[in-house]
Structure 1
Amino acid sequence: MGQYSHLQFFRHTPNAQLAVYFSSKNINLGIDLTRLKETEAEMILKAFTQLPDDQQAEIEAEFQDVNALACEGGIAALIDESRFHDDDGFVEAVAAIDGFHSKVMWAFLEKPTYWRGASMFLHADNVSPSFWKKRNDLPNLPPHVDDEDIDAFAQAISQYFYSQQGRGKNCKVEPYRRNDKEYFFAYPEDFAQSGVEWVSNTLKTLAHHPAFEIIFVYSESEGSLDIYAPKNTKVVPELQRHFAKTILKLEALKDGSIDQRVYDLAPLNDNDFEFKLEAVEGISSVVVTRMRLTLKQGSRRRIMLEADTKNNSKAVYDLLGELTLPKYHITQVGVKVTFDALEGKRTKTRTFNITYPNSCALNYDGSDLKIRKMLAESGIEPKAE
């Protein structure tokens, strides 16, 4: 989503929904939203800015939350959360509503218990794959997620960071189940900070205690644990052990390593290579748009090939064939996936890079999951070296 704007938000959200929202908070804007045209967003903005500052701040925070989920990924996260609540009618209901903002505002008003989980899922989905550290050799044990288990996990994280770094005195862990995976969002207390803030119409320097974030994603069926710990990657092995002890009830965890599987890019060197599109419904074409070649002789000698594939899907390969090159490895490819066009909608595409050994700029939700399955069927998926 782009930068939030009140005016843009009012333009995208139906007046009838805004009327329900303000009515639920017993706020009178002094205008009848149901009688306004959908194009008269300026009048709503003018009325909104007449509200007291504290009310505006509270509403703005909620509107920004709605705006953040008003996208395809946000809808997918809400659907995943609805499945946890066994709400079979949610998908049909949200599909009948036009526009992302309308869909999300409806969910905000009608399904408030879904909100926190969906927001957290979308946040995790937006983390770059390169930031996740994966271990895939854990025993296939069910996670323990009762209150006392979550409290013990939070206490273990707190004690570790407080003893090692002098921060993390307090910690909260929020667990969520998403399909067949368990998500744990941990918030240890960070070092105290001070900043300049506006309090009403006065500029003040205020001290506060922010939290830093760690995300754990566990799959019992895969025996895998993904950890997102920005600026704390060195402590990932310790975090794995604390997770295993408190959530999996393992007294000891053997020394392990980050997932060392690699993407096999060698097949892409063949001009006749074809991606297995029939393996997944909804994908109409896959094109290699660029290649990075690392020469076998010498150190850090690379060649980047890029060509216009709009009218020639093999343009990169044609360019490669025109060159006389020493021996090389393919260490990165740019890929463009085009999905089947849906009636009345623009054709969707997804462009991403795969980089040797094990970096792929795809997430693990929605259309990206389809692409990952296609890559697996095509023989490009990570394999143990």
Structure 2
Amino acid sequence: MARHFSIPSFFRQVPNALLRRCFVAHGLLVDFDFEAMPETRPNKLLEAWRTLPDAVRNEMEAEFTEVFDMACEKGARAILDEAQWQMRASPDSYKAFADKLASMPGHFERAVSVFLDHRDLWRGAALFYHADTLPYWRKRPGLPRVSAAIECDSRRELALGIGTWFHEVEGRGRSCMVELLRRDDRDYFFVYPEDYSQQSIEWVDGQFSRRPHNPAFEIVYVWSQHEGTLDFNHRGARKAVEPLQRIFARAILKLDDLPPETKHQRVYDLNPLRSRGFQFVYTPDGGILRVAVRKLRLSSRIRSGDSMTFEADIAANPLALYDLLEEVERSIPLTGQWNVTQAEISVLMLTASDKPPKTVTFQISWPNSCSLKYDAIGLKLRAMLKASGIEPR
């Protein structure tokens, strides 16, 4: 279920003692009696909140929104990943930190406590959480398994290359910066080129106005030296994909050029999904209970651009799509003339021991697009795709 932020909801979720610390950290409401306020009933605090200046409330609301987003299992995992890297020289310190988080009664306590007491972990953890929520990653396999060049000069080269490409091709990207984070054996590069100027309609000190500003847009690279794969996320034109991968290969991997992508490297082999007898492979301890193909797009091998999409209701019959295909094939020959270029897969799985199973639906498209995120669920399902031969190992 989607989570929606609001100030009243946030105040109800966070214990009063931690709310007090949030305000005192800003030098605010130091005389407010948080102890006298009943837990989960913040009416008096909301009254005090409304008396604060707009600029103060705007700043704190932005912080509260970020904490709210991180107050979940995915956020806790991101915090632990960042802590594990930063405390890699002291395993005992990491264990003590992890035990401390585990002892807290809920995710809001964990998120607020880390925000207040471990600000050195917060930025990296928030970026990991954000990356975990991004869908539609593109994978480039088959690259040399070299270590990433992470020094400042290489990051500046990456920023300059990306900014220059966007400035020359799309007229934006005059400024660009790169942030680097390490997560287990993967290097994350968050790139922020300057976007087109925009005007936003805002309320400023009670006045309604338009304010011009220069936002940034985002590109995320995830490099795995162990696998020789580059995962790439950019919500933009498809024509930008290969040039941006090439810039990364030259600046960070120190390759003369991006190696050509051979046919067998085009990641997803979706044609096996045409078969009714295809079996997904997964381990019993992964929480996966049932997998079914809900939708297939078939593209013509004979005439480029021709495609057909088949979709079935699999609620009562997990093989309903194959019943539909067999019915269609009585009139239209499908075998040998069509490739599967997109599939939608529905997975019933346990995501938490104390919650009922949930249905996770994701889409994979030939050659290399997948809507799975890089969170705990997404990684389990990507492992299933590898074990099943859909994604090469």
How far apart in 2 are the matches of 1:356 and 1:244?
Answer: 23
SS at match of 2:285: coil
Q: Which residue, out of 171, 177, 185, partners 2:182?
A: 177
Q: What is the 5 A alignment of 1:71-110? A: 71-86=72-87, 87-110=94-117
TM-score, normalised by the number of residues in structure 2:
0.83
How far apart in 1 are the matches of 2:19 and 2:241?
Answer: 44
- Name the residue aligned to 2:391: 381
Are 1:286 and 1:335, in contact at CA under 8 Å, matched by a contact in 2? no
Are 2:348 and 2:358, in contact at CA under 8 Å, matched by a contact in 1? yes
Tell me: CA distance 1:150–1:271, structure 2 relative to 1, closer, same or farther (3 Å).
Answer: closer
Distance apart, 1:266 and its partner CA:
4.1
How far apart in 2 are the matches of 1:342 and 1:213?
Answer: 31
- Name the residue aligned to 1:221: 226
Are 1:135 and 1:258, in contact at CA under 8 Å, matched by a contact in 2? no
Are 1:309 and 1:316, in contact at CA under 8 Å, matched by a contact in 2? no
Are 1:159 and 1:168, in contact at CA under 8 Å, matched by a contact in 2? yes
- Name the residue aligned to 1:287: 291
Tell me: CA distance 1:202–1:124, structure 2 relative to 1, closer, same or farther (3 Å).
Answer: same
Do residues 336 (structure 1) and 346 (structure 2) align? yes
Are 2:158 and 2:251, in contact at CA under 8 Å, matched by a contact in 1? yes
Q: What is the 5 A alignment of 1:59-74? A: 59-74=60-75
Tell me: CA distance 1:266–1:221, structure 2 relative to 1, closer, same or farther (3 Å).
Answer: same
Q: What is the 5 A alignment of 1:117-266? A: 117-129=124-136, 132-250=137-255, 252-254=256-258, 256-257=260-261, 261-266=266-271
Structure 2 stretches of 5 or more lacking a match? Answer: 88-93
How far apart in 2 are the matches of 1:295 and 1:228?
Answer: 25
Letter in 2 for 1:89: A
Percent sequence identity over aligned pairs: 37
SS at match of 1:7: helix
How far apart in 1 are the matches of 2:120 and 2:199?
Answer: 34
Are 1:289 and 1:307, in contact at CA under 8 Å, matched by a contact in 2? no
How far apart in 1 are the matches of 2:297 and 2:251?
Answer: 45
State the Cα deviation string for residues 54-87 of structure 1 (Å, max 9, x = none): 1111100100111122233222222221121122
Q: Which residue, out of 366, 374, 379, partners 1:369?
A: 379
Distance apart, 1:26 and its partner CA:
2.1
Are 2:138 and 2:368, in contact at CA under 8 Å, matched by a contact in 1? no
How far apart in 2 are the matches of 1:284 and 1:28?
Answer: 49
Matched residue pairs, number? Answer: 378
Do residues 50 (structure 1) and 60 (structure 2) align? no
How far apart in 2 are the matches of 1:47 and 1:243?
Answer: 50
How far apart in 2 are the matches of 1:162 and 1:305?
Answer: 42
How far apart in 2 are the matches of 1:3 and 1:258?
Answer: 44
SS at match of 2:201: strand
Instruction: Calculate the aligned-residue CA RMSD, in Å.
Output: 3.1
Distance apart, 1:315 and its partner CA:
4.8
Tell me: CA distance 1:163–1:356, structure 2 relative to 1, closer, same or farther (3 Å).
Answer: closer
More deviation in 342-351 or 62-71?
A: 342-351
Tell me: CA distance 1:39–1:149, structure 2 relative to 1, closer, same or farther (3 Å).
Answer: same
Structure 1 stretches of 5 or more lacking a match? Answer: none
Are 1:14 and 1:38, in contact at CA under 8 Å, matched by a contact in 2? yes
Are 1:277 and 1:283, in contact at CA under 8 Å, matched by a contact in 2? no
Letter in 2 for 1:249: K
TM-score, normalised by the number of residues in structure 1:
0.84
How far apart in 1 are the matches of 2:159 and 2:30?
Answer: 43
SS at match of 2:51: coil
- Name the residue aligned to 1:327: 333
Are 1:133 and 1:258, in contact at CA under 8 Å, matched by a contact in 2? no
Distance apart, 1:18 and its partner CA:
0.9
Tell me: CA distance 1:29–1:5, structure 2 relative to 1, closer, same or farther (3 Å).
Answer: farther
State the Cα deviation string for residues 339-377 of structure 1 (Å, max 9, x = none): 347554333442223444544321233122112212222
State the Cα deviation string for residues 210-248 of structure 1 (Å, max 9, x = none): 222222222222222233333354344433343333323
How far apart in 2 are the matches of 1:45 and 1:15?
Answer: 13
Are 1:215 and 1:228, in contact at CA under 8 Å, matched by a contact in 2? yes
Do residues 309 (structure 1) and 319 (structure 2) align? no
Are 1:19 and 1:34, in contact at CA under 8 Å, matched by a contact in 2? no
More deviation in 266-275 or 112-121?
A: 266-275
